[in-house]
Structure 1
Amino acid sequence: MRIAVLSGKGGTGKTLVAVNLAAAAKDSTYIDCDVEEPNGHLFLKPEVVQEEEITVKIPAVNEQLCMGCRTCTYFCRFNALAYINDKLKIFADVCHCCGGCVLLCPVEALSDIDKVIGKIQKGAKDNINVNTGILDFGVESGVPIIKKLLSEYVSDGKNLTLIDCPPGSACIVMESIKDVDYCILVAEPTVFGVHNLNMVYELVKLFNKPHGVVLNKCLEGENPAEQFCIKKGIKILDRIPFDHELGTINSNARIAVRESEKYQKLFVDLLQKVTKEVHQHEAVTHS
């Protein structure tokens, strides 16, 4: 069972929910797809960590073969190639690694070379496999790292897989959720929180993913995010209070389900609710 945890912006409690659900399960895999700012490993503290560099293919030019026809520059919509002073220039930082220029070159003056864009770290502790994607500074897209994470390190289905998504609703989030069984949307109880919740709500609807909302940092009184869920008919899975105890646990990079009986019950119950939702959706889909 693959569960994605996502939110419209950073700081809503997405990683809090993901790591605690991973710890609440007897056996789980945690995948941190927030490759620009991964921090789940700070809580789960994996041991015997192994690293793998992730590369993409970018073009390189053989100047002796290049005849200056500009076929490649006309093709590239991202202006990653330019013919300047009788030489072909390649701007690797804006290349989208599609390989089209190499295929189209009539004299085979272009070839592919590897460019390192980041790395994957994997380790384990306390029956949790921890897999983390890390994007190098200045790299334009983390999609290749996320693809690698999800193709190689997703569990075989016998245990729970928690995917900690990047914030927002861009292509890296789409890549993170496209093959999941369920999406947990984490939202804050503010008007701004409603705006961010709506972003990811529209995304999971587009992908036709079953979903529910966890309302975080809840206070007594009016909760615009809750009102939004009621208006839209979105299932509210649970409410996490704005709580000094939880804030202290989280700020010290500890796991709430291991520190507090109250939060152990909350996240175990949440996991059971989500599991039930997945099974119900599968039953409807296969009927």
Structure 2
Amino acid sequence: MKIAVLSGKGGTGKTLVSVNLAAAANEVVYIDCDIEEPNGHLFFKPEKIQSEKISIKIPYVDEKLCNGCRKCVDFCKFNALAYIGTKFLVFEEVCHSCGGCVLLCPEKALFERDKVIGEIQKGVSENVTVISGIMNTGEASGIPIIKKLLNDVNKDENHTFIDCPPGSACIVMESIKDVDYCILVAEPTIFGTHNLKMVNDLVKIFNKPYGVVLNKCLEGENPSEKFCIDNGIQILGKIPFDNELGTINSNALISVRESEKYKDLFCILLQTVMKEVQRETVINS
């Protein structure tokens, strides 16, 4: 069972929620798909880490065979190839590694080479298997890393919590397309409501069952809560704006393992999420 945790922007509390839900569960997998800035491992501090480099295929040319016909250039819809004067150019940043140019070349002048774009690290932290994707600085797309992260998860695992990238870009879509349930994390501000609406629209496009966790809650008006009530969205739980929680989190510690109060809060939240997932499973079966 795969559960994705999303937010419309960074700093909302997405990692706080996903890390603590994973820590509150029994024998689970935590996957950090926020490949540009993964930080779940800072909390879990996993041991027995294993690393794997992730590569994509990039075309290169044998200039002795190339006759400059430009058929590959015309074929590439991403403008990743050019032939200027007598020089064949590959713009790696926009290449989608489809391999079409290599297949199409009538002179068999194009070949593929591996380009490392990042790595996956896997380790263990008590009851949690921690898997993190790390994209190299400057790479245009991390989708191959996210595909590898999610494809390697054992289908028989009881629960997998996916810490998604912030926002609603392609890498977020890739992170949620095969999940069973989505948790949206929102702040109690007008800006937070705007970002909640953005990811709310996204999970609806993918027809995913979902609910909302309201983070940093204070006394008084909460625009994100009002948005949920007005739109009939399930509120899974509320996390208070609290100095104790902020201190634990800023010290890169896991609240479930440090505080009985927050262990109780996240265990209750986990039970609520599991009930919702099971209910949706029954409805869709």
Q: Same fold (TM over 0.5)?
A: yes
What is the CA–CA distance in structure 1 between the aligned matches of 2:216 and 2:196, rounded to whole Å?
14
Q: Is the 8 A contact 2:193 2:223 kept in 1?
A: yes
Which residue does 1:78 correspond to in 2? 78
Which residue does 1:42 correspond to in 2? 42
What stretches of structure 2 of length at least 5 have no aligned partner?
A: none
Deviation, structure 1 residue 245: 0.4
Deviations 1:26-79 (A, max 9, x none): 211000000000000000010011110000001010111111111111122222
Hey, which bits of structure 1, 4+ residues long, moved more than 4 A?
A: none
What is the CA–CA distance in structure 2 between the aligned matches of 1:255 and 1:83, rounded to whole Å?
54
Which residue does 1:257 correspond to in 2? 256
Which residue does 1:177 correspond to in 2? 176
Q: Is the 8 A contact 1:155 1:161 kept in 2?
A: no
Q: Is the 8 A contact 2:29 2:157 kept in 1?
A: no
Equivalent residue of 1:103, what SS?
Answer: helix
Identity %: 69
Does residue 194 in structure 1 map to residue 193 in structure 2? Answer: yes
Does residue 16 in structure 1 map to residue 2 in structure 2? Answer: no
Q: Is the 8 A contact 2:28 2:157 kept in 1?
A: no
Q: Is the 8 A contact 2:33 2:165 kept in 1?
A: yes
Deviation, structure 1 residue 155: 3.7
TM-score, normalization: structure 2?
0.98
Deviation, structure 1 residue 157: 3.4
Does residue 205 in structure 1 map to residue 177 in structure 2? Answer: no
Deviations 1:74-132 (A, max 9, x none): 12222211111212111212212111211211111111111100000001020210000
What is the CA–CA distance in structure 2 between the aligned matches of 1:189 and 1:273, rounded to whole Å?
21
What is the CA–CA distance in structure 1 between the aligned matches of 2:94 and 2:137, rounded to whole Å?
14
Does residue 223 in structure 1 map to residue 241 in structure 2? Answer: no
What is the CA–CA distance in structure 2 between the aligned matches of 1:78 and 1:155, rounded to whole Å?
34
Deviations 1:266-286 (A, max 9, x none): 110111111111111111111
What is the CA–CA distance in structure 2 between the aligned matches of 1:179 and 1:191, rounded to whole Å?
30
Equivalent residue of 2:145, what SS?
Answer: helix
What stretches of structure 1 of length at least 5 have no aligned partner?
A: none
What is the CA–CA distance in structure 2 between the aligned matches of 1:219 and 1:98, rounded to whole Å?
50
Q: How many residues align?
A: 285
Does residue 28 in structure 1 map to residue 34 in structure 2? Answer: no
TM-score, normalization: structure 1?
0.97
Equivalent residue of 1:250, what SS?
Answer: helix
Which residue does 2:64 correspond to in 1? 64
Q: Is the 8 A contact 1:217 1:241 kept in 2?
A: yes
